[in-house]
Amino acid sequence: MGAVTYPDKRVAEFITGRMVPVQVVSDHPLAGEFDIKWTPTIIVLDYYGKEHQRTVGFLPPEEFVPALMLGMGKIDFETGQFEAAIRHFDTLLAEYPGSHAAPEAIYLRGVSGYKASHDPAPLKEAYERLKAGYPTSEWVKRAEPYGLL
């Protein structure tokens, strides 16, 4: 990650503009506190230190930023800020539609839309979008019941 991902200009700008990065080596006390078993482990925490996203293993720059964006959206989703979550997921999908994070972002965007409005239409829309654009994704199966709406 230090040789390929972190030096990438897009990654550096994203991290310095939107996050507080902390690098923990395996023998640091925080490694145990955050249950880090392998490096790299990327953890997205909220302001209070609660974990919302964990990724283990190398990510190239084109996957690293969307993974962080997904984590930011999950913070909003899991704290009930559904409109903010939708904005994060929409940004991820607009800028990185082919990323590995995109299918989960579509799913969570649909759920966020439902939670914000109590209208089931965003759930069905998420399923249709997943089925059309990411047919082999596990998120299609997870959203399959929404196709019945």
For residue 52 the two structure tokens come to 């919302």
Is the pLDDT at 131 greater than 80? The verdict is yes
pLDDT digits (tens, 9 = 90+) for 78-124: 999 999 999 999 999 999 999 999 999 999 999 999 999 999 999 99
- pTM for this prediction: 0.91
Reference 19, options 62, 63, 65; nearest CA is 65
Is the bond into 40 cis (omega within 30 degrees of 0)? yes
* CA separation for the pair 2, 66 (Å, rounded): 18
Question: What domains lie within the chain, and their CATH numbers?
Answer: 9-148 (1.25.40.10)
Q: What is the pLDDT of residue 3?
A: 79
Residue 1 has pLDDT above 90, yes or no: no
Give the C-alpha separation, 6 to 130, whole Å.
Answer: 30
